[in-house]
Amino acid sequence: MSAIRIISASSELGAGTRGSSLGFSAMRAAAWNKGSDYFTHHPPTVLPVFNEIILDRPSSPYNDRIRYIVQTCEIIAQAVGETIQNGDFPLVISADHSNAAGTISGLKMAHPDKKLGIVWIDAHADLHSPYSTPSGNVHGMPLGAVTALDNKPYQINYPEQEVVEAWEQLKNIGNITPKVDFKDIVLIAARDMEKAERFILKQHKIPNFTVQKVRESGVDAIVKKALAHLEDCECIYVSFDVDSLDADISKGTGTPVKSGLTTSEAHQLMKAFGRQKKVCCMEITEVNPTLDNKKNLMAEIALELLEDVSVVIESRL
């Protein structure tokens, strides 16, 4: 019988702030504090990480630690691929969003002949590359990696050869590149993007259903439009970055942005997508309890979201 399999990917090497590696532990603490037995019924697979190298001096001012991020994503890809091959549903809880490159790679490796679609619920588009990034943080590049994007028309960096080679390895995990076509990506709640990313959205007509559109049309209508855009996709991955939530709810994430989703809207979105048979994997990411200005609120919110969407998914497995 198919089941949800929780995969903990606690690498924070792609983030510019420290602490997201504690996100999964914070969610487990939230479960313990409320008396939830979720993680007893869903024992997690905890993947190895390389966070100890954070103390090393970066070899490059940009794309800090990218070689280890490649190794991390290869491990995640293998775990996700094996979960799918076993007939189960991977639900990834990751530290920073660079881990999503591994999740998506694993999906494509498990379904090499299937058309993969992405629903990216995030305050950011994460469509940068080592050439276009203003920060050097790889958690702003996962969609760039899986679409094999360099975006050299907006190049502002000249990365070292070591970084270029690692970027090529990240794009080529599983020896499949690109993993996803630009036209098979949908953004929801993206509101903090650089010019280089807006260029890609416009060039490839990637829809971004803003928070305003969600409120004007309603969650059900937005989900319907997103699924219509991805109607040719056979397998859909939904990624939820907690920074898609309004920054006033909690600062417990690395890059909070105002004017985001409410927790109610987030629950409605995730449950609506969770009901879809084409949705084959979900990810919740970027909980950082060290930045939370309201005790452990962000982890508590993420846990409730995880519990709610799991009920919906399990009802159709």
Which CATH number covers residue 12? Answer: 3.40.800.10
Q: From the centroid of its chain, how far is CA 94?
A: 8
Q: Is the pLDDT of residue 1 over 80?
A: no
269-285: average pLDDT: 99
Q: Is the pLDDT of residue 60 over 90?
A: no
What is the helix (H) or strand (E) element at residue 97, kind and residue range? none
**Per-residue model confidence (pLDDT) at position 64:** 62
Residues 6+ apart with CB under 8 A from 92: 6, 7, 8, 9, 76, 80, 99, 103, 281, 282, 283, 284, 285
10-30: average pLDDT: 97
**Each residue's pLDDT tens digit, 62-105:** 566 899 999 999 999 999 999 999 999 999 999 999 999 999 99
Helix (H, G, I), strand (E, B) or coil at 150: coil
294-306: average pLDDT: 97
Domain count, the chain: 1
CB atoms within 10 A of CB 117: 26
Residue 238's domain spans which residues? Answer: 4-314
Q: Is the pLDDT of residue 146 over 90?
A: yes
**What is the share, in percent, of the chain residues with pLDDT greater than 70?**
97
Helix (H, G, I), strand (E, B) or coil at 200: helix
Q: What is the pLDDT confidence band of residue 55, given thresholds at 50, 70 and 90?
A: confident
